[in-house]
Amino acid sequence: MRGEIQKAIDHFTKGEYAKAIEIFNSLIEEDPKDPFLYNNLATAYFKQGKLDQAINAYEKALELAPDMQELYQNLADIYVFRNEISDALELLSTGISINPQNPGIRYHYARVLSKDNRFNDAIEELEKVVDQAPNNMDARYDLAQAYFEVGNYGHSITEFKVVLEAHPDSADIHYHLATAYEADNYLNKAKEELKKTLELNPRMFVAHKKMGIINMAEGNNDKAVEHFEKYVSVVSDKEEEQRIRSTIERLS
């Protein structure tokens, strides 16, 4: 059986989901009490877009192994994909109750809360994740974003700086830190981070827009125009292009 399982996994890895499904179904006929087979079958169905079959297989796996946290997370993924958020959250909450010390499923739960714009609830869960796994930079990044969404810019800055220490060459993190600094009215620090953003990724043109906005707020119209012109040169949205060009005209 082990050889057949590996064959199915190989097919899955290659994106040959129909072949993987065929083998997993055959293996289930031999051993209908193995929750791992149902889990793998469900995942293959999910990859194929056959959501009802995937749900049925995950539910069968849960019948066989109700304490297997991974199953709650995997099944919740389908409900999130179908935008059935309350069902996903209920599943994840049940999964957390099995082993509250597992930060992985709690992090998943927090991300779904954020997706549902329940940022204060997400913060509560993400803070627990960070307490349990302080080196989880993905959780810290999401926590920084959630703090930003509720207007807690100081905490957002603190978390982004921790993540930046782990990923100093990330233009994305420098940009988000700049955005938090701007929101907290630390404009010079925001410009410093935007400058670093553009040094790391000169094609991150949204940073030019942000630089333009800050320079315009400070009355540095020439600098604002310089950055707006770089940004507008790549804008594809016609309404956005018109707004920026009107701003350039007003400042020139």
Q: What is the pLDDT of residue 1?
A: 64
Domain coverage including residue 21:
1-65
**Residue 113, domain member (yes or no):** no
Number of alpha helices (DSSP H) and beta strands (DSSP E) in the chain? 15, 0
Strand, coil or helix: what is 167?
coil
**Residue 172, domain member (yes or no):** no
**Residue 25, domain member (yes or no):** yes
94: how many CB neighbours lie within 10 A of its CB?
15
Query: Residue 2: which CATH number?
Result: 1.25.40.10
The angle at the Cα of 102, spanning 101 to 107, to the nearest 5 degrees, equals 120
**Residue 248, domain member (yes or no):** no
**Residue 116, domain member (yes or no):** no
Instruction: Give which of 214, 236, 238 is closest to 228, Cα–Cα.
Output: 214
**Rounded Cα gap, residues 27 and 70, in angstroms:** 21
Q: What is the pLDDT of residue 169?
A: 97
Number of structural domains, the chain? 1
Whole-model pTM? 0.90
pLDDT tens across the length of the chain (252 residues): 667 888 888 999 999 999 999 999 999 999 999 999 999 999 999 999 999 999 999 999 999 999 999 999 999 999 999 999 999 999 999 999 999 999 999 999 999 999 999 999 999 999 999 999 999 999 999 999 999 999 999 999 999 999 999 999 999 999 999 999 999 999 999 999 999 999 999 999 999 999 999 999 999 999 999 999 999 999 999 999 999 999 999 998
